[in-house]
Chain A
């Protein structure tokens, strides 16, 4: 049985990944603190409840990433000859499903509250012997709840793009946009204080919509990966066009007459097959192995490209094969 080698990041990328892992630990710590503090001032506000549940759900991506990174270090073996690179995507799919389902549920719940014209009660709290309106405390806590995610979100996006960690990249984008849901909750709470009973439920519905939207975006990303979509780079909506680059590399080799390549994403890295038509069969096996090694070292994100020899007529047209022999 042919078992894959363990994928190793280049040293500089490994450093970037270690930084990202540290960042995710910080992210997790801040998010736990936010969930804990928000939980103490929930009151009767629907917007607060939804914001709180959103923050609770946002614990899942960093936990999933940190677990997956550990799991991924396992070398491929007899049972899993392709390795564990896709562990991240399994975690990502679970997160995305939870986000979408919870978002829809909260949206329905908020709209129901709106339809029932429920008047939210935001009571009083006694702090240091002074009885104050709880809404002020909620606003304070909500302001705290948006600051760390916005800062960490920016750092996450940069760090995740360096090591092509799509799950963290998507999480960072969500965190960066998190201030808007926090602000919506603040507007809801202050609106209730100003006597508008609907402000709370409307704010809650807006946050729930945002949660659903995040869930669906992540779901698309996870499904794309599981369906072996052609590689996209984290920070771009467009495909990476690495296939064409690899075909050009192959066609530049003197023994190659034509070449075509297909790639798929396996979590943060790419794998695939190259189909090559040689000018002659001389030394073919060695040529194929060298070509494979060359392609595997072409870019750090490439894990394994298998090169096989094909007769000419089987090639599809590709820019690199503009001049077939």
Chain B
């Protein structure tokens, strides 16, 4: 028994250790490396970025793409001396293109979910949108949400969580125009001058999507995201500017 173990070690493990160390020596400080597109190919070259509209993260303007994530990626490309080819499409098409290594990165206010991780690798959350309940300036916050009517966007994923708190969600198309309590991300509430309550209704974990296995690229994007400052203030400014 031990005999076969030892020969197994000799024939399988020892060469593989040698190979790994040889590769490490060759790779030097460029570790990890990408599996499909080498970093040297991206540096000073073209980045293919997929984007789908989702203000204030990605905004389609007459002057081209804008929004928080567009700003972040522009800064990253500048650091890499790269130019950007923007590709507008639906989130589904973009993620599929990512899985076939046609794109380098996809943005569009993506949040952590299984759709993204099935076809791509999400970054770690670079920002968390906290859904809170706020009231217009000059109104006092209720002591609790029991039976309080709270305005929510018509398309939302927080109605259920609000009901759990005892509140009555009220889908409203022109949010912020009436004198009523609103549930929305804290940056939105602050942008419109709302007083923000302490109830944590929900949290969106914002990510960007990268192709699977592009580990050096992931490290570069993640480092850039982690060092990107003042995300909350930028979101408020973008929202207020709309």
Contact = CB atoms under 8 A, between A and B. Distances in A.
B16 A123 contact: no
A193 B219 CA distance: 11
B13 A180 contact: yes
| Contact-residue bracket for chain A | 20 to 34
B232 to A, nearest CB: 18
A119 B36 contact: yes
A123 B20 contact: no
A54 to B, nearest CB: 17
Contacts of B226: 126, 131
A111 interface: no
Nearest to A125: B124
Contacts of B219: 123-124, 131, 133
B35 interface: yes
Interface in A179-217: 180, 183-184, 187, 190-197, 206
Contact of A194 (B13, B27, B212): B27
A194 B20 contact: yes
A184 B31 contact: no
B60 interface: no
A118 B211 CA distance: 11
Given A183-B13, A184-B13, A195 B35 contact: yes
Given A119-B35, A180-B9, A193-B31, A124 B24 contact: no
B91 to A, nearest CB: 19
Interface in B213-234: 213-215, 218-219, 222-223, 226
Contacts of A206: 12
Contacts of A183: 13, 17
Contact of A190 (B12, B24, B123): B24
B172 to A, nearest CB: 38
A44 interface: yes
A126 B34 CA distance: 20
B32 A122 contact: yes
A37 interface: no
Nearest to A122: B215
Interface string A109-144: 000000000111111111000010101000000000
Interface in B24-46: 24, 27, 31-36
Given A123-B124, A124-B222, 6 more contacts: A121-B213, A180-B5, A187-B16, A194-B33, A197-B35, A197-B213
Interface of B: 1, 5, 8-9, 12-13, 16-17, 20, 23-24, 27, 31-36, 121, 123-124, 210-215, 218-219, 222-223, 226
22 contacts: A44-B121, A119-B212, A119-B214, A121-B121, A121-B213, A121-B214, A123-B123, A123-B222, A124-B218, A125-B124, A131-B219, A131-B223, A131-B226, A180-B13, A187-B16, A190-B24, A191-B23, A192-B213, A194-B20, A194-B33, A195-B32, A195-B34
